[in-house]
Amino acid sequence: MAVTPIRLFGDPILRKPALEVVDFDKELRKLVEDLTDTMLEAPGAGLAAPQIGVGLRVFTWNVDGEVGHLVNPRLDLSAELQEGPEGCLSLPDLSFDCTRALSVVARGFDMHGEPLVVTGSDLLARAIQHETDHLDGILFIDRLDAEARKAAMRAIRESEWFGLERPMVKVSPHATNGLGF
């Protein structure tokens, strides 16, 4: 089991767009294993690579007993929306209602480089959108209306974890073509 510390709000890696995965190798499989173990231990409905300090476009999910992962996701969102509570492992003990697409078709790859299509609605759709946002440097609080965002920021400033020393950014073992951290 490889449980990794989860980066908290304020860590710069959470705001940087992640790089596309180009090498589907043993390091990527290890990353997926670390993400899965960390997500299950937390526990959470999903976890993106930047949340454990790796700036690559990979995330895992755990919704209704289904555990999975997706590499280099591209999303097609439904026009129909859902409103519901959302939280984040990088913002512990915070939950606010957030608007998301009701359903999603996510296309990408598995850890072996095989094409993968994931179709989901409700909580799975919410988790996939949330984790894909992480890969773009977007946090769910960015999607809140002004009043809710103000309340979220107040809750963050009052939290026990806010301002704790952040760990160093982990350097990706993958080629970054000069775009690495």
Radius of gyration (C-alpha) of the chain in whole angstroms: 16
User: What's the distance, CA 18 to chain centroid?
Assistant: 11
DSSP designation for 174 = S
Instruction: Give the span between the Cα atoms of 67 and 36, in whole angstroms.
Output: 8
Distances (CA, A) of 160 to 6, 8, 93, 94: 15, 12, 10, 12
Active-site residue list: 131
User: What's the distance, CA 156 to chain centroid?
Assistant: 19
